[in-house]
Structure 1
Amino acid sequence: MFGRKQDPPPEVDAPLVPEPPQPAPQGKGRPTPRRKESEARNRRPLVPADRRAAAKDARVKARVQRDLEYQAMRNGDERHMPARDRGPVRRYVRDSVDARWNLGELFLPLAAAFLVLQFVTARGAPVVAFASLVLLYVYILASVVDAWIMWRGLKKRLTVKFGESTLPRGLMMYAVLRAFQVRPSRLPKPQVKHGQHPA
């Protein structure tokens, strides 16, 4: 405890190792282009030299794209469908609407029949004409109520299956407009039969 302090061990200098020589920095091997030259190289004409040929090419490309989308909607190929019809959520909405008997899908034929009946009986039997008009309005109201009931049930199933945060906007109008279309005229074409509800 009170003994002599021990001397620290003598320091030994480590041998110096010479560092390898660093290569001298080299340039990029070419002069920096002037700003005017860079801008000229990147400049593209806003208006093509031949406007008619460019417009014709654009029309041809648009027609090819429309034909491709139309064929995709007829055969159910989702890769080439328009953006508003792509995705599993919209596919589920289409299948749900197509599997259900909707009052709206008979609206156009019945409305045409009621209007013809009204015009035919307007002079000879005004009571029949008035009754056909009232029946048409009752059918419209029933179709709207049916579409609302359809959307309420569909929205619950969509929320359970996909989650509310993943549902895109505009699904209600997408479903209701499809429900009011005559089934053979729907695009994309129905892929399920009546009663064949999606899981």
Structure 2
Amino acid sequence: MFRRTQTTADDSPVSANDPKPAGKGRPTPKRRDAEGQRRRPVNAPQNRKEAYKQLRERQANDRAKAREGMLRGDERYFPARDQGAARKFARDWVDSRRLVGQYFLPFSLLILLFTWIPFPVEIRYYVNVAVITIGWPLMMVGVVLSSAWVAWKVKKLVVEKFPDEKNLKGVGLYAAMRALQIRKLRFPPPTVLPGGKPVPAKK
């Protein structure tokens, strides 16, 4: 008849030193606010000047990385005009040969140097005849003929070697323009030596 009453709650006070408090002590953040805190960048710029500074640093790092990649010969960092198997073949074909066009700039500087040297009057006449009247026209004719031959030859070889290549437009002119550059100033850098041997790896 008499049932024992079950206690449903403990009315004893909670000690202030209880290591397990009943609550977190702060309101639960909303999901939207929590996601916003996680997505916020760690180094977010505080103003426009700082944002511009960070942008310039990123751009400088990207340029340095791209230049290092091009110097290594990594085609991923090459400009669009230097990409593709046909352009690689044209570069190697030009770099493996000694062509008349690559001496055009040194020869032009040599002629300019001769015009600055204060030769005696009787010698200057012969210098002008030998260098300016004869040497310069012969060099120009040689450069024009050499460039035309390089453009024709490279275009012919590329068409034969890469029959399925779609982007062959301008590959002959590309090779001719490279042939006019001093070898050490060519970019992308040559990967073969005159004669066809690979360029030794830098230590």
- Map of 2:147 onto structure 1: 147
- Map of 1:116 onto structure 2: 113
How many matched pairs?
151
- Map of 1:106 onto structure 2: 103
Please say which of residues 95-104 and 65-74 is displaced more in the overlay: 65-74
Deviation of the 1:149 alpha carbon: 0.4
* Distance in 2 (alpha carbons) for counterparts of 1:51 and 1:130: 64
- Map of 1:51 onto structure 2: 48
Structure 2's unaligned 5+ residue stretches are 1-44, 199-203
- Map of 1:9 onto structure 2: none
Provide closer, same or farther for how the CA distance between residues 120 and 53 of structure 1 changes in structure 2, counting only shifts above 3 A.
Answer: same
Conserved? CA contact 1:121–1:128, under 8 Å: no
1:29-57 Cα distance to aligned partner (Å, 9 max, x none): xxxxxxxxxxxxxxxxxxx9843333323
The amino acid across from 2:73 in the alignment is G
Please say which of residues 149-158 and 121-130 is displaced more in the overlay: 121-130
The amino acid across from 2:127 in the alignment is V
**Percent identity of the aligned residues?**
31
* Distance in 1 (alpha carbons) for counterparts of 2:197 and 2:137: 30
The amino acid across from 2:142 in the alignment is A
Provide closer, same or farther for how the CA distance between residues 119 and 68 of structure 1 changes in structure 2, counting only shifts above 3 A.
Answer: same
TM-score by length of 2: 0.65
**What is the CA RMSD across the aligned residues, in angstroms?**
2.6
Provide closer, same or farther for how the CA distance between residues 130 and 183 of structure 1 changes in structure 2, counting only shifts above 3 A.
Answer: same
Deviation of the 1:103 alpha carbon: 0.9
Structure 1's unaligned 5+ residue stretches are 1-47
Q: State yes or no: 1:127 paired with 2:120.
A: no
Deviation of the 1:129 alpha carbon: 2.1
The amino acid across from 1:132 in the alignment is V
- Map of 2:191 onto structure 1: 191
Conserved? CA contact 1:96–1:197, under 8 Å: no
SS state at 1:166 partner: coil
* Distance in 2 (alpha carbons) for counterparts of 1:64 and 1:168: 33
SS state at 1:94 partner: helix
- Map of 2:24 onto structure 1: none
Deviation of the 1:174 alpha carbon: 2.1
SS state at 1:190 partner: coil
Conserved? CA contact 1:103–1:143, under 8 Å: yes
- Map of 2:90 onto structure 1: 93
- Map of 2:63 onto structure 1: 66
- Map of 2:182 onto structure 1: 182
Deviation of the 1:144 alpha carbon: 1.6
